[in-house]
Structure 1
Amino acid sequence: MNVQRSRTTKLRVFFMLLFVGVCTLAGMFFSQSMPASAASSGNPILPGNQADPSVRIFEGKYWIYPSGFDNNRFHAWSSTDLSNWTDEGVVLDVGPQVSWADTRAWAPDMIYRNGKYYFYFAADVQVGVAVCDSPKGPCTDSGAPLVAAGLGGAESIDPTVFVDDDGQAYLYSGGSAGGGRMSIFKLNADMVSVNGNQIIQTPTNFTEGTWLSKRNGTYYLSYSNGCYCNDTYNVQYSTGSSPLGPWSYQGTILASNDVYKGPGHHAFLQYPGTDDWYIVYHRYENNDFSQRKVAIDRVNFNAQGQIQPIVMTSSGVDTRPLGQSSVSLTRNVYQSLQTTTPGYSNAFIRHANGDGYTAVVDNNSDTLLKQDATFKVVDGLADASCYSFESRNYPGNYLRHANSRLHNSPRDGSALFDQDATFCAQAGLSGTGVSFKSYNYPDHYIRHYNAEVWIATNGGPEAFDTSTSFMQDASWNIAAPWAP
C-alpha cells in the first residue's frame, strides 16, 4: 500500500507540473499574440467625495471644476491626458472671498473670454461670477449676485455658460426647489452682467444641472432628472434649433444600473478637431450613498444625430493627451503657409507691422513681401512635438497669438510667449492640407478672415461664419518658401 501511494503521489505531481507548464506556455503565447489594451483613465477619476463637475479645455490642459465640498472652497483639477488629474488648489473660497454668501457652494463652471477667465458658481442659492487671471485663479468675485435667489420663481443654482458661434454668451441655471424651472439669460460682452430679461424655457423632465452643447447645427440641452440623493438621479436631453429653445424632448441617456447608482450632474467634452465626445459626471458606487464619485465615459451618436444610451464603466476612457501633433513637418527649413480656401488659394500668411495677414504672393512680388511670407519651421517653443514659426527676415521673432490675433513678435523668454507661439499640426479640417491648433488653447486653430490671421474656434466670438468656411479657412498647404 505504501508503494502504491508513493507511485500515485508521483503521478499526481507529474501531471500537476505538466498542467502548470501548459498553462504557462499558453499564457506566454496569448500575451504575445494578443494586442495590449490602451492605457485608460479608470473610474472614478478624482479622489474623495466630488460632485457636479464642469469640464473645459484651457492652456493645453483639461480642467474639471466640482462643487465646493472643502468647506465651501472650489478647487480646480487639471490633466494633460484625461487619466492623471492634479488638484491645482482653491479657485475661490466662498467664505472670505464672497461678501454676499458664505455656504452652499455648488456646481461651478469656467469660461475663457476677453483675455480673462470667468468663474460662475452657486452659493447660498444665488448665482455669482468671479473674474480670474488663469484657469486655477486667483479669482475676484464681482461683488454681487449675478442671479438673485428665487428670481422669477426659479431656483438660482447650477450655472453653466454657452457661447454661440455669433459670440453671444448664454447663462443657464435652475433647480427643483424652483418648481423645476430653467432660466436662460443673455450675458453682456463683459461676461459679468446680463443683457435683458430672464427667459423661462424649461425642457421636459428637467430637475437641475443643465449643459448645452452644439453639434452639426443642433443644440443639445442635457440635464439631470430625479433626486441627487438616490438612484432615481439620471440624465435626459432635448434638442433645439436655438440656444433659447423651444426644446424637443429626446429621452434618457444615463441612468442607474446594477453597479452604479444615481449618475447625473454632468458636462460634455468634445475632443478638439474631432467628433469624439465624452461625458464627465458623478455617481454612487458600491451602494454607498454617502459619497459621490466623478467618472468619465464615452458619448456616441447614431446616424440621425441622437445620443445613444451611455454605458458606465470602471475602466473609463482611453488616455488622450492634448497638444501633440499627428502630422509631421520637416523641421529647421524655410516654408510658406498657403491658404486652401477656394478662390483664395494664391494667398499666404505674411507679417506686416507686427501683425499676421494673408496676402497674394507671386513671382512678381517684391523681395520684402516674399520675406514676410517665409518662416522657418522649428521645434515648438513650449513642446518639441509641435511646431513654432520663426520669421525669415526677423530671426528671433515668432508667430504668436495674443487676444486671438496672430502677431510676429520677439521671443521674450516667458512661458506664456512660448505657449502662444507653439502650434500642433494635424490633418486639415477641410479634408485637405494641414491645420494648426493652438498649444495652450487646443480648441482654437490658425485661420484667416478678411485677410487677417487669427486663432479661432468654430463656436465662439472668433468663429465668424459657417462650419464649412471655418474648416476651409483653417486648413493650409505647406508650400516652398518664397525667400529660401
Structure 2
Amino acid sequence: MSYRKTLLPLALGAALLGTGCSDKNAAPETPQNTQSLINSASAKPEQFINQPLVTHRYTADPAAHVFNDRVYIYPSHDIDSGITSDGEGDKFDMKDYHVFSMAKNSLAQPNAEVTDHGAVLKLEDIPWASRQLWAPDAAEKNGQFFLYFPAKDKDGIFRLGVARSNSPSGPFAAEPTPMDGSFSIDPAVFKDDDGSHYLYFGGIWGGQLQRWASGSYEEEDKYPASNQPALSPKVARLSDDMLQFAEAPRDVQILDNTGNPLLGSDSNRRFFEGAWLHKYNGKYYFSYSTGDTHYIAYATGDNPYGPFTHQGIILMPVLGWTTHHSIVQVDGKWFLFYHDSQISGGKTYLRNMKVTELIHNDDGSIRTLDAYLD
C-alpha cells in the first residue's frame, strides 16, 4: 500500500483510465455507474457486490491464506491518526497488525462470522521501525508462522521485517533487524509445489521503489522516461529458515503481448504496488495494482521469476484511491480479497476489506470483476 505525493482527485484518477495504452491493448472504460460512485463517494450499501467483512475497525490490503483448515487474513490496520498532509502516504500511519479468521465454508455467505484475534504485533515492539506498518503477508513452514511487513526505519527508509509465531493467529515476535538487503513495501509470499518460498515486493511513489533504481537508496525520486521500461517489482527466494533472502532480489519483468516490457507511460498496465502470485493449472499468475489508474491487473508466466505477459484486468476501480488484494483457493474455489472505502464514505485512508469469488475461464483467463452492481 502506497500513496502519491500529491493526491489526485478521484475524478481525475478515473479520467486517467484512457491513457497510456494503444487502442488495441487499452484497458476497458470504467462503467458509468462505477465512474459516478468514484466521483461522488456516496455509494449506498446495496450498490456494492459485497459488504465489508468487519466494520468494528478499519482494515485494508488483506492477505488471505488457509492455515489449519481455516481462512486467516492478514490486513493493514487503518487508523485516523489526525495527520492532514498527504505527503508520501503520511495519512497511512498504521501502528499495529490484527489477524482475522473465518470458517472456510463461510466465504460466500453474507454476514459471515469473522474472528478478530486482536493486535498481534505493535510498532513499539519492533526495535528497528519508526512508523507506518503498511501491507503485510504471512507464510507457514514446519508448523511455524511468519509475518512479513514493511516499515520505515529510523532514517525514514522503508525496509521489510519478519516476525514469528507458533500460531497463525499470533502474537508475533519481530526479529531485531530488518531483512538484509530489503527495501520498499508490500511483501507477498508464494509457496511453490516443491516447497520453495518466494517473496515479492515493491511499490512506487510512497513505496520508494523509484529511489532504488541505482541499486542503492537515493533521496531523489528517479522514474523512467515515458518510452523506457517501467519500474519492476522484485522477487527473491527465501532462505530455509524463512528469515532472509536466499539470493539477491531480481526484477519481475511484465511484458506486453509482443514480448516487450511495459513502458513507464503505460499506467493502465504497468506495476504500481501490491504484488501477488498464485498458480492455476500449472501456470503462474502475477497480479498487482496499477495504482493511479485503480485496476488490479494480471500477467502470466511459466515460472515464479517470470517474465510475465500482461493478460487483463481482474478488478475494476473501487470506492477509494488505493487497491490491494490477495487470491486464495478454498475447497476447490478461488476467492479475491480486496478493500474499498465503503464504511468511511470514501476516505481513502480508512478502508475495509471484502471478499468475492474469482472465476478462471476455460481458457485460463480471469473473469473481470466490477465492485458495483449494475
Q: With structure 2 as the length reference, what TM-score do the two structures score?
A: 0.65
In structure 1, what is the Cα distance between the partners aligned to 2:50 and 2:252?
37
In structure 1, what is the Cα distance between the partners aligned to 2:277 and 2:356?
18
- 1:129 aligned partner: 162
Which of 271, 274, 278 is equivalent to 1:206? 271
Match status 1:280 vs 2:331: no
- Cα offset for 1:126? 0.8
- Cα offset for 1:289? 3.6
Match status 1:192 vs 2:215: no
SS at match of 2:299: strand
- 8 Å CA contact 1:300–1:310 kept in 2: the answer is no
Which of 298, 307, 322 is equivalent to 2:357? 298
Match status 1:171 vs 2:194: no
Aligned residues: 260
- 8 Å CA contact 1:90–1:136 kept in 2: the answer is no
In structure 2, what is the Cα distance between the partners aligned to 1:139 and 1:256?
33
- 2:283 aligned partner: 218
- 8 Å CA contact 1:235–1:263 kept in 2: the answer is no
- 8 Å CA contact 1:75–1:90 kept in 2: the answer is yes
Report the residue type matching 1:86 in the other structure.
T
Identity of aligned residues (%): 34
Which of 44, 51, 55 is equivalent to 2:60? 51
Distance 1:52 1:170, change over 3 A: same
Q: Deviations over 1:88-107 (max 9, x none)?
A: 01111122x21110311011
- Cα offset for 1:147? 5.0
- 8 Å CA contact 2:136–2:148 kept in 1: the answer is yes
Report the residue type matching 1:67 in the other structure.
S
- 1:61 aligned partner: 70
In structure 2, what is the Cα distance between the partners aligned to 1:110 and 1:50?
16
Q: Deviations over 1:184-230 (max 9, x none)?
A: 11111111121121111242410110110000000000001123xxx
SS at match of 2:60: coil
In structure 1, what is the Cα distance between the partners aligned to 2:334 and 2:372?
16
Q: Deviations over 1:58-92 (max 9, x none)?
A: 22321111114355110001111232112101111
- 2:228 aligned partner: none
Q: Deviations over 1:163-201 (max 9, x none)?
A: 111111100000113134311111111111211211112
User: Which deviates more, 213-222 or 168-177?
Assistant: 168-177
- 2:102 aligned partner: 79
> Any stretches of 5+ residues in structure 2 without a counterpart?
1-48, 80-93, 153-157, 211-230, 255-261, 263-269
- Cα offset for 1:313? 4.9
In structure 2, what is the Cα distance between the partners aligned to 1:146 and 1:135?
21
- 8 Å CA contact 1:212–1:220 kept in 2: the answer is yes
In structure 2, what is the Cα distance between the partners aligned to 1:88 and 1:287?
26
- 2:14 aligned partner: none
Distance 1:147 1:310, change over 3 A: farther
Match status 1:146 vs 2:179: yes
In structure 1, what is the Cα distance between the partners aligned to 2:233 and 2:50?
33
> Any stretches of 5+ residues in structure 1 without a counterpart?
1-40, 151-155, 315-484
- 8 Å CA contact 1:254–1:263 kept in 2: the answer is no
Report the residue type matching 1:74 in the other structure.
Y
Larger % of strand: which? 1
Q: With structure 1 as the length reference, what TM-score do the two structures score?
A: 0.51
In structure 2, what is the Cα distance between the partners aligned to 1:46 and 1:246?
37
In structure 2, what is the Cα distance between the partners aligned to 1:268 and 1:110?
13
- 8 Å CA contact 1:220–1:239 kept in 2: the answer is yes
Which of 222, 238, 250 is equivalent to 2:299? 238
- Cα offset for 1:138? 2.3
- 8 Å CA contact 1:254–1:264 kept in 2: the answer is no
- 8 Å CA contact 2:180–2:244 kept in 1: the answer is no
Report the residue type matching 1:130 in the other structure.
A
Report the residue type matching 2:179 in the other structure.
L
Report the residue type matching 1:90 in the other structure.
A
